[in-house]
Structure 1
Amino acid sequence: ESMITGESLPVEKSIGSPVIGATINRSGMLTVQATSVGKNSALAQIIKLVERAQSSKAPIQQLADKISNIFVPIVLAVAMGTFIVWWLAQGELTPALLRMIAVLLISCPCAMGLATPLAVMVGMGRGAENGILFKSSEALQRIQDVDVVVLDKTGTVTEGRLRVTDFLNVPDTVFSEPELLRIAASAEAGSEHPIAAAVIEFAAQQQLDVSHPDQFQSVAGHGIRATVGSHQVLIGNDRLMQQSNINTSSLRDAALSQQAEAKAVMWIAIDGKLQAIISVADTIKPDSVDAIRRLRDRGLQVLLITGDNQATATAIAKQVGISDFQAEVLPEHKADAVKKLQDSGKVVAMIGDGINDAPALAQADVGIAIGTGTDVAMETADVTLMRGELSRALDAIKLSQATLRNIKQNLFWAFGYNVALIPIAAGVLAPFSNLPDFLRQLHPIMAAFAMVASDLVIVTNALRLKRFRF
């Protein structure tokens, strides 16, 4: 059920247990009765939540558009006023026309038009070069205002796949550790269970020769029985050991300690005697701890919301340094949790990778998808981190802040340039005979050169974003 809950391990089902459409039966046979179909299914409800949240997002008005809406009419009025004043003052048409044309040329709103889209284009391009894809310019602008970051667990903070974390044998075993691991991996070679895949991968990393078992039996919900060479192998949980009268007391404390760290512990018995325990877990990504610390150092509140069980959520949150977390949260309730934060005045970024995260990604002010996750998550999100690194979320925020700062610099220059030079083009310096002629009577050609120079300043400033360092 990982697609819905984020739970890394398969969930055991018995008579009367609810099952979710599109989840996978990993072993055994089952008969299911449909209780919800079509628009009432769990998947359809998730799609409905995504569509509702996406439609409620209002686009951000561009600052440049606001200025341009006022700027253009004012320039036209100033140009016409300049023509009328100088025509009436001098009684000559040509000087008045030249001043009017100079005003129109020097105040051409090209600078205003370039200020925002050019910086956005360069900023988004710089992000793409480093695996940060912004779906829109609005996303690039919104992410700088985030003050709360909500994290999913599976595939976001953790790898999203099981790996062997511990292998511990009993003190009096007659087998060497490599031989024990080889026998266990060979027994698991007959299983399709995720834990089996983790054990086999671990053995392969140790360069052990893993073979297929001579006989194999899957004990649903408990483990496996297998024959490897001359050995009878039993690998499974507590209940399988109890049913087989295997004494587990020698490794009981170690097993309990590892279970407290949200690890799944499997007991290994060979020829009727306990030989070892092997633990697997969805391991934390290498950069998660540092990324979360850096987010908190920037004053951002970091929360963990997962569909996984309470014990696993507690252990993972402790390992990565998150004190505020929620466990066993269904997809629709994740979106509700995000909305509750928004209602309290917070600007929320949601980071996730699965189908179960889609409603929350859509609800958040900024949805950030891990690029190694599902297509649904990436389609719903505003930003995609293609390299799957959580640290890139902070890089996206920093890039957004740098881009918005660049836009404001461009707009300040464009506005200041026009405020300074439009009056000169209109002839306010004409009465001052001690000034150079080109200032007292600004020729349209000079005005055109000034306009181009202004555009070049903005282009050069925007291109500085290409040197932005993450």
Structure 2
Amino acid sequence: LLGRFFEARAKGRASQAITRLLELGAKQARLLRQGTQVMVDPLELVPGDTVIILPGEKIPADGVIDAGATSIDQSMLTGESHAVDRGPGDEVYAGTVNQQGRLEVKVTGVGPNTALARIARLVEEAQATKAPVQGLADRISAVFVPVVIVISLGVLATWWIATGDFADSLSNAVAVLIIACPCALGLATPTAIMVGSGRGAELGVLFKGADVFERAKEIDTVVFDKTGTLTRGAMTLTGLDSEADERLFLARVASLEAGSEHPVGKAVALGAEERDIELAPVAGFQAWRGLGATGIVDGVEVAAGRARFMADRGLHIPDRYLEALETFERRGHTAFLAGWGGEVRGTLAVADTMRESAPAAVAELRRIGIETAMITGDSRQTAEVIAAQAGIATVLAEVLPEGKATELARLDAAGRSVAFVGDGINDAPALAAADLGMAVGSGTDVAKEAGDVVLMSGDPMSAVVALRLARATFRTIKENLFWAFAYNTAAIPLAALGFLDPMIAAGAMAISSLSVVTNSLRLRRFH
């Protein structure tokens, strides 16, 4: 019972971070009803409602901004201290703070269906699971208890035969039973997992199970996906080389790419929009992942993609555009060709921005003995420029999305223990193939994203934090197990020899359990 009390107390303290987060939610919501603002309980909101959030107020529910622009403090959700800019069409989350500007937000999630509530459930589920090392402790405890009973009976018989004093002999036997209670052994692993997962949630790192900690501490290689992980994933159109009418060329290519979900296509469409170029409807749109796309624009079949893709479709590629392609790639830009009527008509280039923390994250991984690599579908020239900026020496370039899992399998076959850091949706096969999948979370539905670990902020340094925290947690587990075994090894002989009466034995047993809990709670200071 005492052991269970300590475990419950540790779990309560470990979950304080999540409890505090849930308590930080808005207490009232400013509902817009038929043009009138009405103050209601946030739990009374339903998806589709429109709420008003004034500067300094907390957002009462998950939603999408209909009107207004602001900076949002979402540190309680992602662990990032700086505010993020948000405007019409952007998602916002319950509990985060509107720092400036009046917002109109259409509600998409309320109460248990908010991102924050899902995070809390995810952490609770992780705390409820058992790490593989806990199985060892359970097996030892299963053998340990009957052995201690036998030892206790032996102590009773030996002392009774030696002294003839049954009361004193019974006292020594009871002392052995009390002091050998395996409470500390049972608490060694779960308390560390509870505190570690709770601290991870505070730092924007979500572990999806206790076994993840054990796998994470074995990682010796981290492979980063490029787009959206090392870079911000917000590409912009940076170059265009065409002998054709530039506006016509960009209009046709942007019209084609407007139907694409790929960041490159979105960048081209945005570039056309910024130049006030009107887009035309597309018929028969088809996309080949990692290669290119085709579609009918203005009655003409337009193709855009890699040089190989264009050649395979019978389009002639003038040397000028191949040279432009190479020039853009040497600068670290992602470049591709576009054309119609059997001829490539121009070269376009887009570029992403390196995350400021990427070089520091790579350097920190190297410092703790972990190698790094970058994987991307970009050409080798472009990839090597980006990798050099981040300080990564190993580059896996021109890899199609479905080929990422194959590349990770090769590293695994070479004896590496590999963690993959990538998008939680687009890189699901690679995340599953890695020894440890680390998904860059969007905050929208972290419980459903692929990966063993979800990095809420998208900052590459979060991957470092996750691995360091996993190592610290497992180190704490080993310390707890060591002290639990050491305590029993030293205490049982003392009790058997009559140096400890039952009251002292009970106190020693309680102290041993308390020491394990206290050692685990040190993880709350991890940073």
Query: Is 1:403 matched up with 2:469?
Result: no
* Corresponding position of 2:173: 100
1:201 Cα shift? Answer: 6.3
Supply the AA of the counterpart residue of 1:336: T
Question: Cα distance 1:253–1:348, how it changes in 2: closer, same or farther (>3 A)?
Answer: closer
In angstroms, what is the RMSD of aligned CA positions?
Answer: 4.5
Partner Cα separation in structure 1 for residue 400 and residue 446 of structure 2: 17
Aligned pairs for 1:373-412 within 5 A: 379-412=449-482
Partner Cα separation in structure 1 for residue 282 and residue 417 of structure 2: 49
Which of 487, 510, 522 is the aligned partner of 1:452?
510
Partner Cα separation in structure 2 for residue 345 and residue 216 of structure 1: 52
Give TM-score, length-normalised by structure 2.
Answer: 0.57
Could you tell me whether the CA contact under 8 Å between 2:255 and 2:281 is conserved in 1? no
* Corresponding position of 2:233: 160
Query: Is 1:125 matched up with 2:198?
Result: yes
Give TM-score, length-normalised by structure 1.
Answer: 0.63
1:331 Cα shift? Answer: 4.7
1:212 Cα shift? Answer: 7.1
Supply the AA of the counterpart residue of 1:450: A
* Corresponding position of 1:192: 258
Aligned pairs for 1:250-269 within 5 A: 257-260=327-330, 261-264=332-335
Partner Cα separation in structure 2 for residue 423 and residue 317 of structure 1: 60
* Corresponding position of 1:75: 148
Partner Cα separation in structure 1 for residue 217 and residue 432 of structure 2: 18
Could you tell me whether the CA contact under 8 Å between 1:305 and 1:325 is conserved in 2? yes
SS of alignment partner, residue 299 of structure 1: coil
Could you tell me whether the CA contact under 8 Å between 1:361 and 1:377 is conserved in 2? no
1:213-249 Cα distance to aligned partner (Å, 9 max, x none): 5x968899899999xxxxxxxxx99x9xxxxxxxxx9
Of structures 1 and 2, the one with the larger relative CO (CA 8 A, separation 6+) is 1
Could you tell me whether the CA contact under 8 Å between 1:371 and 1:378 is conserved in 2? no
Question: Cα distance 1:374–1:279, how it changes in 2: closer, same or farther (>3 A)?
Answer: farther
Could you tell me whether the CA contact under 8 Å between 2:258 and 2:269 is conserved in 1? no
* Corresponding position of 1:343: 413
Partner Cα separation in structure 1 for residue 390 and residue 452 of structure 2: 25
Supply the AA of the counterpart residue of 1:116: T
Could you tell me whether the CA contact under 8 Å between 1:259 and 1:265 is conserved in 2? no
Question: Cα distance 1:74–1:343, how it changes in 2: closer, same or farther (>3 A)?
Answer: farther
Could you tell me whether the CA contact under 8 Å between 2:255 and 2:280 is conserved in 1? no
Question: Cα distance 1:165–1:444, how it changes in 2: closer, same or farther (>3 A)?
Answer: farther
Supply the AA of the counterpart residue of 1:457: S
Supply the AA of the counterpart residue of 2:221: V
Partner Cα separation in structure 2 for residue 407 and residue 127 of structure 1: 16
Partner Cα separation in structure 2 for residue 371 and residue 284 of structure 1: 18
Which of 465, 483, 494 is the aligned partner of 1:424?
494
Question: Cα distance 1:460–1:146, how it changes in 2: closer, same or farther (>3 A)?
Answer: same
Could you tell me whether the CA contact under 8 Å between 1:216 and 1:224 is conserved in 2? no
Partner Cα separation in structure 2 for residue 343 and residue 361 of structure 1: 16
Could you tell me whether the CA contact under 8 Å between 1:189 and 1:212 is conserved in 2? no
Partner Cα separation in structure 2 for residue 305 and residue 95 of structure 1: 71
Partner Cα separation in structure 2 for residue 364 and residue 84 of structure 1: 57
Residues matched between the structures, number? 361
Aligned pairs for 1:202-351 within 5 A: 257-260=327-330, 261-264=332-335, 279-351=349-421
SS of alignment partner, residue 145 of structure 1: coil
Indicate the structure with greater strand content: 2
Partner Cα separation in structure 1 for residue 195 and residue 205 of structure 2: 13
* Corresponding position of 1:60: 132
1:118 Cα shift? Answer: 0.2
Partner Cα separation in structure 1 for residue 449 and residue 424 of structure 2: 11
1:400-456 Cα distance to aligned partner (Å, 9 max, x none): 121122122222222222222222211x2x5xxxxxxxxx4x332221122112211
1:378 Cα shift? Answer: 5.9
SS of alignment partner, residue 284 of structure 1: coil
* Corresponding position of 1:443: 501
1:373-420 Cα distance to aligned partner (Å, 9 max, x none): 997996431111111111111111111121122122222222222222
1:263-306 Cα distance to aligned partner (Å, 9 max, x none): 44899xxxxxxxxx985223332322221222223222212223
Structure 1: state its 5+ residue gaps. 1-58, 169-179, 227-235, 240-248, 268-276, 431-439
Could you tell me whether the CA contact under 8 Å between 1:189 and 1:211 is conserved in 2? no
SS of alignment partner, residue 459 of structure 2: coil
1:94 Cα shift? Answer: 2.1
Partner Cα separation in structure 1 for residue 256 and residue 350 of structure 2: 18
Supply the AA of the counterpart residue of 1:60: P
Question: Cα distance 1:373–1:151, how it changes in 2: closer, same or farther (>3 A)?
Answer: farther
Question: Cα distance 1:415–1:115, how it changes in 2: closer, same or farther (>3 A)?
Answer: same
Query: Is 1:134 matched up with 2:223?
Result: no
Supply the AA of the counterpart residue of 1:192: A
Partner Cα separation in structure 2 for residue 104 and residue 112 of structure 1: 15
Could you tell me whether the CA contact under 8 Å between 1:378 and 1:384 is conserved in 2? no
1:146 Cα shift? Answer: 0.8
Could you tell me whether the CA contact under 8 Å between 1:351 and 1:367 is conserved in 2? yes
Query: Is 1:371 matched up with 2:441?
Result: yes
1:186-215 Cα distance to aligned partner (Å, 9 max, x none): x979983676854786899xxx9x8675x9
Partner Cα separation in structure 2 for residue 406 and residue 452 of structure 1: 19
